[in-house]
Structure 1
Amino acid sequence: MPTLHWIGKDKVVSHHQDVPYRVLEHKYGFAAGKGEQSVPTNSGNKIIHGDNLEALKSLLPEYEGKIKCIYIDPPYNTGNESWVYNDNVNHPKIKKWLGEVVGKDGEDLTRHDKWLCMMYPRLKLLHKLLADDGAIFISIDDNEQANLKLICDEIFGSNNFVSNIIWRSSDNSNNDSKQFSVDYNHTLVFSKRRNWLSNKLLRNAQQSSHYKNPDNDPRGPYFDGNPISSPNYRENLCYDLVTPDGKIIKHPKNGWRWSKESLEYKLNTGEIRFNESYTNIKRRTYLNEQKGLPPSNLWIDLEETGHNRNAKYDLVKIFEESSSKNVFQTPKPSKFIDKIIKVCCGKSDIILDSFAGSGTTAHAVLNLNKQDGGNRKFILVEMEDYANEITAERVKRVAKGYGTGAKAVAGTGGAFDFYELGLPLFDENQNLNEKVGLTKIKEYIWFSETRTSFSERLNAEVQSSQSINEDYKLGVKDGTVYYFIYEKDKLTTLDFDALELIKTKGEQYVIYADNCLLPKDFMARKNIIFKKIPRDITRF
């Protein structure tokens, strides 16, 4: 498989493993009808302000392999730095990161090298977060499309390339263009596994228009087409038909698709009919029996998927005219994201957007949930300072409704929690960073062992009446009891005295401590697994 090489690649191919795990600091929750609140909403919807590389790492314990749909609209690397959304890799934070990770080689990087260095470790983490039955959709233009395809082939696997969706992003040609008017963008689609299947989409009016009902068939509109012949030769399917007027219709090369008895039955019921000249037969296909269609990779219907100009107009309406000067120049329309979600997701899946921008992805999720009663969840990550005043603010207004009078738009409902990236869990010596607090450390350990949230652990124990006041106990999962014997100011030891602290019975015990003095044969008989702090704590 062809691979792409650029200056700095050797520094970033494994950099995702070195990215520090930072805790997420909850700042506030928001719920439509209630407004902001200090306690978490536990809605499952998250907006995170911070470097998306570190934010993606912080999502791994809870969400690794669980995200059904990832949509990202990364910088297109056009060199334009005049927008609210900085469409260039010369952002101060990116420059600082390149200097730290790539080092002196970064001084010689072209903007394409910089862009690839920026994207590669982020795509590696997104690959980890993607579910086995999920897909990632990446919007891009011709500046980096070819480079993006090659690094995605490397990270996701060339066999997992699904499609390059061509989306008509402009509703009119640019008369000021000196060469070609740019009227479309690419959206590359990759799956986690080769056998990924998209959802079928409902037929639109145009696709259904050739179904008619001229004879008032009680089964509704239909389409008459030639019956499908058998794909493989079978002797019992090779028979001739005799028409009502005595003509002979020869069988196809491999025979008919049905046995003689089945075909005669279909002729009697009217599902199969002779054509007007009695030279062939035709099959009546009813519209109400048809399932959806596989999505096309040509998205040019402006009514169906929207375009940049009406997406910008929608933002102006949401934020009102006084705020229009802060609106993005080329936001994605919610209709476009809406279609991506319909192609990829069910009604209760998680959608992640780690280049959140104006928050279109959350807008689309809330709209769809309102339309069909779904319970889809969104996770947005935005590194820029407008994460709260634009990204989160848009979601608030969409959820509670906006506009006045005839232009008022009803709210979708919904809730989310807003987070900032906090301190790293491990310090520069790879010891636990006690400044993050014991609760965050316990949450991390529990996630790393069980892939479930700390709140789920509490709910399960309350329901099963197993909750016992034990300072070191983390919880019980699938018969295994977890303990984290840790003290801030002293070393802890798992010995026979420490076993007196173990009050909950289980089929197996996983116990963290600084040291262990229990005999190995004793631990084997009692199904005790010792994990040394910090050596055996899982690193994501």
Structure 2
Amino acid sequence: MDKLKMHTPDLADENFKKLASLFPNAVTETITGYDADGNAIVERAIDADVLRQEISATVVEGAQERYQFTWPDKKKSIVLANQPIAKTLRLDRKKSVGRDGTPGSIDTENIYIEGDNLDALKLLQETYLGKVKMIYIDPPYNTGNDFIYEDDFSLDTGEYLGNSGQFDEEGNRLVQNTESNGRFHTDWLNMMYPRLRIAKDLLSEDGAIFISIDEHEVGNLRKMCDEVFGGACFVSDVAWQRTYSMRNDVKGIAAEIEHVLVYGKQPAWQPKKLARTEKMDSKYKNPDNDPRGAWRNIVASAPNAATHQGMVYAIQNPITGEYAYPPQGRCWSLGQDFMLNAMNQWCDYELKNIHDDERRAEVCGVSTAEVRKDVLAIVLKGALAEAKQKALAKYQGVLPEFFFSKKGEGTLSRKAYINEVAGRPVTNFWSFEETGHTDEASRLLKELFDGTTVFDTPKPVRLLDRIITIATNTEDVVLDFFSGSGTTAESLLKMNMSDSGNRKYILVQINEETRLPSYANLCEIGEERIRRAGKKIKEENPLTTADLDIGFRVFKVDSSNMEDVYYRPADLKQDQIMMNIDNVKADRTPEDLLFQSMLDLGILLSSEIEETEFAGKKVFSVAGGYLIACFDFEITEETVTEIAKKKPFYAVFRDAGYANDSVATNFEQIFETYSPKTKRKVL
């Protein structure tokens, strides 16, 4: 039976193991210092010289010049991203809301986490690895007035595991980053880098991250994201028009936009198309009563004639008899066989050599010697007079897909049908008319809170509507770990309402204090906003929101459920080792242990949880029996047997929970009898 480690993974250790497995001959040991008694401290290491030989490539090290983006403490921020933490997420039932809005219920798939977002990301990284489709964050812009996280780079791994990471009882680790700070940019970069490193791992392979930022740090953020996600994964620097009017007393060049940096998890990430506007659709008519619906004429040519010479040829007009060619530098948009069939809808055509090399060379922009010599023309098979008579009759009815405009006197055009046209492409300019502005965001949030201003700089719901629309499908998970007032959640709820989707959100927000008498911190504001927004959506759309999940489970980042002896057994005395010591903190509940076990085993925090009793002991069944756990004391063989008979994938117990030594002795045999494939864990 295995013990759960009950802390986040040590990524540096995992990376070392990967290198060691690939290049075992590069593994060595080195002296890194000396202890108080003068004894050498020897640690594992990778021999760079051996590694260089193995990969047969240039390894840059030391002071050698190279292209790079760096700042003070960057190496420490990388270490911080990889360091494990002994923390957990504790459910707060009182703040939680069920999918139907019932207070205190946890029947929901949405998650709200209170606490340091670096800790939260580390706690989520195994369970949600590669499961998040879209991340949106609106971090501090570093304007000189913002609060940023003050991460501690000075702790070694042992201290970090045992430290709660909190500067006060509220978990507030924020400091104001003023422009007078000598580490103004450095502190901001050190805050962002480890969080982005972990966020990348949470993204699915077809996922993307969207980051709001202004001109203060957009340059540095772009360089940082190029390093974290890869320059090839850059998608766009979107200009969001955040305001609809400018003050006349603005000095210099007024800032009308903010940036939204977009990176895909993989190169060539593509956004979904946007819905077409009425103005765009108004261009489509049906003057000939085409049964295929409304259409508009488009050019029948495409660029790059010189490299597509086989698609540069003459097409004879059935009314004038003239030979039509693509415009200069362009070719016909479809192949010759297709175009021959299309022209046969007018009258009989055939392929024929009309010896027009000079004219085709002119269209292609090459010399006559360079133009292809084997390209035939599409010409009338019969007499022009007969073809003209048939063609004029066609203009009295439904026109074929390809036609000469102006009743045969114009250029060759093609019908584009409205029902075959995809949505409009996403551009890198998002106007306030379509995506909202800051005044709108503040006004609507104030209305939601009955006229009270609760948040100074909310993002408009319509901005998040745009992002969720182009970056998610109906079943995806969305993450926002600088969630502020909770705009992301409200937008997602409205999107699910409009398309009957089941998108899930994970929001993270630190307990930053407010000056409001009714709300002590931003978490209370965010949670109340989601409650109010969900209730409003339900009231305004009673017929379409019966199954809409407007709930959320509230979790708080806290120190581990386990006592320090769990992590530092060397501190125990011999007589303590012989005792059956419970290594769980006294104030922790079975539910606390359940969720830490779920995190450790990679089971989603939103999983369905059922409570029952086996032989008088409380038993949790998670995700339809995938995990069954019992954290009571005095567990008998009867309880163990009932759990084994359910054949769970995982079975988890408290290490000191057995009623007597006999139960502990027979535990493995019971599972071998009823469910040998079950993975048994203790904590």
For residues 128 and 63 of structure 1, the distance between their equivalents in structure 2, rounded to whole angstroms, comes to: 9
Max Rg structure: 2
Please give the residue correspondences for 1:29-40 in structure 2 after superposition, counting only pairs within 5 Å: 29-31=96-98, 34-37=101-104, 39-40=105-106
* 8 A Cα contact 2:77 2:153, kept in partner: no
Aligned pair in 2 of structure 1 residues 229, 297: CA closer, same or farther (>3 Å)? closer
1:275 Cα deviation from its structure 2 partner: 2.2
Matched residues in 2 for 1:280 and 1:16: separation? 62
Q: Does 1:371 align with 2:498?
A: yes
For residues 20-419 of structure 1, the aligned pairs below 5 Å read: 20-28=85-93, 29-31=96-98, 34-37=101-104, 39-41=105-107, 43-80=108-145, 87-89=146-148, 94-95=149-150, 97=152, 109-228=182-301, 233=308, 238=313, 240-250=315-325, 257-258=334-335, 259=337, 260-265=339-344, 270-276=400-406, 278=409, 280-300=411-431, 302-321=432-451, 323-324=452-453, 327-383=454-510, 384-385=512-513, 386-401=521-536, 414-419=550-555
Aligned to 1:530: none
Counterpart in 2 of 1:500? 669
Q: Taking structure 1 as reference, are residues 239 and 31 closer, same or farther at Cα in structure 2, changes over 3 Å only? A: same
Unaligned stretches of 5+ in structure 1? Answer: 81-86, 514-532, 534-540
Q: Distance in 1 between matches of 2:662 and 2:73?
A: 45
Shift of 1:200: 1.1
Q: TM-score, normalised by structure 2?
A: 0.63
The DSSP-based 3-state class of the residue aligned with 1:63 is: coil
Q: Rate the CA distance shift 1:482–1:226 in 2: closer, same or farther, 3 A.
A: same
* d(CA) in 1 for partners of 2:556, 2:144: 29
- Whether the aligned pair in 2 keeps the contact of 1:481 and 1:504 (CA below 8 Å) is no
Number of corresponding residues: 487
Following TM superposition, by how much is the alpha carbon of 1:201 offset from its aligned partner in structure 2, in angstroms? 1.0
> How far apart, CA to CA, are the structure 1 residues paired with 2:256 and 2:230?
29
For 1:470 and 1:79, the matched residues in 2 are separated by 59
- CA offsets 1:37-61 (integer angstroms, 9 cap, x no match): 2x412x1111111111111222223
Q: Which moved more, 1:167-176 or 1:66-75?
A: 167-176
CA displacement at 1:377 relative to structure 2: 1.0
Q: Is residue 422 from structure 1 mapped to residue 553 from structure 2 by the alignment?
A: no
> After superposition, what is the alpha-carbon deviation per residue over 1:147-170, rounded to whole angstroms, capped at 9, x for unaligned?
111111111111111111100001
What is the rounded CA distance, in whole Å, between the counterparts of 1:437 and 1:163 in structure 2? Answer: 47
TM-score (normalised: structure 1): 0.78
| Worse-matched range after superposition: 490-499 or 441-450 | 490-499
Answer whether contact 1:26 1:40 (CA < 8 A) is retained. Answer: no
Q: How far did residue 373 of structure 1 move?
A: 1.2
Check the 8 A contact 2:124/2:599 in 1, yes or no: no
Question: 2:386 maps to what in 1?
Answer: none
CA distance in 1: counterparts of 2:643 and 2:77, whole angstroms: 36
CA deviations 1:85-140 (Å, max 9, x no partner) are xx233xxxx346467699xxx99852211101111111112112111111000000
What do residues 406-436 of structure 1 show as CA deviations (whole Å, max 9, x unaligned)?
xx96687511122222222566677296225
List alignment gaps of at least 5 residues for structure 2.
1-65, 161-176, 348-398, 514-520, 569-582, 610-620, 628-636
Quote the RMSD (CA, aligned, Å). 3.9
Query: Counterpart in 1 of 2:80?
Result: 15
SS in 2 for 1:206: helix
Task: Write the distance in 2 (CA, Å) between the matches of 1:45 and 1:475.
Answer: 31
Residue number in structure 2 paired with 1:529: none
Structure 2 letter corresponding to 1:297:
N
Q: Aligned partners of 1:472 and 1:17: how far apart in 2?
A: 40
Helix, strand or coil at the partner of 1:55: helix
Judged with a 3 Å threshold, the aligned counterparts in structure 2 of structure 1 residues 510 and 418 are, in CA distance, closer, same or farther, namely closer
* Percent identical residues: 30
Question: Aligned residue for 2:31?
Answer: none
Equivalent residues in 2 for 1:470-509 (5 A)? 471=640, 481-482=649-650, 487-488=655-656, 499-503=668-672, 508=677
**Aligned with residue 434 of structure 1, among 584, 587, 598:** 584
